[in-house]
Structure 1
């Protein structure tokens, strides 16, 4: 039987070792433009300058996945961060592992609901997008440049994603 990876709720504190949660809840904000606009300030640390990189702004359209889902691979971007911001009120999953040599024992999975995004810090292992329920568009801010910037690995064995409340039942 495949090892299971419990899906936990996404919080700033739980995700901090892997990057930033991009959320308006609890964010520093203030009025601008004569009070007609509210600015939610400095929501993520975008890190793309390594080796002469430049900032890219993209839209990724993710096809929905269904549960149960097995994680069979992970990737990382050693030269820059990568931010995913959903362009709607959506559900998706995030699977991560710390920077450095990949250690499947340190993998974590998070459920994201609403409009919150994530910013993977440079070198953090993560699974490609796992949208749930519907085709989902994400605004993606990441690194462009001439150097290769994506390492992929296959897991020794698949890890099955399970919601914590299902596992407890």
Structure 2
């Protein structure tokens, strides 16, 4: 994909993401009442705005210093992968995520009661201009949603127990490294099927 087109997609995604409630996956973009979709402009992902839900990771976010004859800048981020005593194994997962076009429909969300969870995109020439979506339900799975647009150079850590959408790459395929602590039972992840699907729509609000 030409860089000019990538830049156009990135700007569109970053600045104009809305969401709408749909009564069912195959239904029109209206609520059960028949009213037009409720629209919300997504926020750029920043450390301050995301702080209630977790932590933003990235170069320069934390204590930074130059090493190896000033050829490397090292950013140290204090450990934020909190976990309960039941979660004893630190595990790393690799996600290969197909980019999705508008609208991106969400019907199920998840949370991890035993551990915080980290996602960091792997950078490459093809993904340098990519964006991805972070969506959280701070008041529970049937409460309001907050959506953020993350750049390819930004990672996040979801706090333990925060309901969130599974990983979504926007338009461009991406790879992510994930880390969390797991226990020996099946309580690492809880899923919830939303009573109404949420459709994240990319376009003019």
Which TM-score applies when normalising by structure 2? Answer: 0.71
Question: Within the alignment, does 1:142 sit opposite 2:177 as a pair?
Answer: no
Which of the two has greater helix per residue?
1
Which of the two has greater strand per residue?
1
Structure 1: tracts of 5 or more residues without a match: none
- How far off is 1:105 after superposition? 2.9
Bigger CA drift: 75-84 or 64-73? 64-73
- How far off is 1:145 after superposition? 2.2
Deviations 1:110-160 (A, max 9, x none): 111231011101000011111112221101111222122111011111122
Aligned equivalent of 2:136: 96
> What secondary structure, in the 3-state scheme, does the structure 2 residue paired with 1:14 have?
helix
- How far off is 1:103 after superposition? 4.4
Matches within 5 A, 1:9-158: 9-33=44-68, 35-42=70-77, 45-88=80-123, 89=128, 90-98=130-138, 102-147=140-185, 148-158=187-197
1:23–1:43: 8 Å Cα contact kept in structure 2? no
The two structures, once aligned, show a CA RMSD in angstroms of 2.2
Length, aligned pairs only: 164
1:96–1:125: 8 Å Cα contact kept in structure 2? yes
> What secondary structure, in the 3-state scheme, does the structure 2 residue paired with 1:31 have?
strand
Return structure 1 stretches of 4+ with deviation > 4 angstroms: 33-36
- How far off is 1:22 after superposition? 0.6
Structure 2: tracts of 5 or more residues without a match: 1-29, 32-36
In structure 2, C-alpha distance between the alignment counterparts of 1:34 and 1:56, rounded to whole Å: 33
1:9–1:110: 8 Å Cα contact kept in structure 2? yes
Which TM-score applies when normalising by structure 1? Answer: 0.85
Higher relative contact order (CA 8 A, sep 6+): 1
Aligned equivalent of 2:22: none
Deviations 1:5-41 (A, max 9, x none): 6222111111111100112144320133554432201
1:21–1:44: 8 Å Cα contact kept in structure 2? no
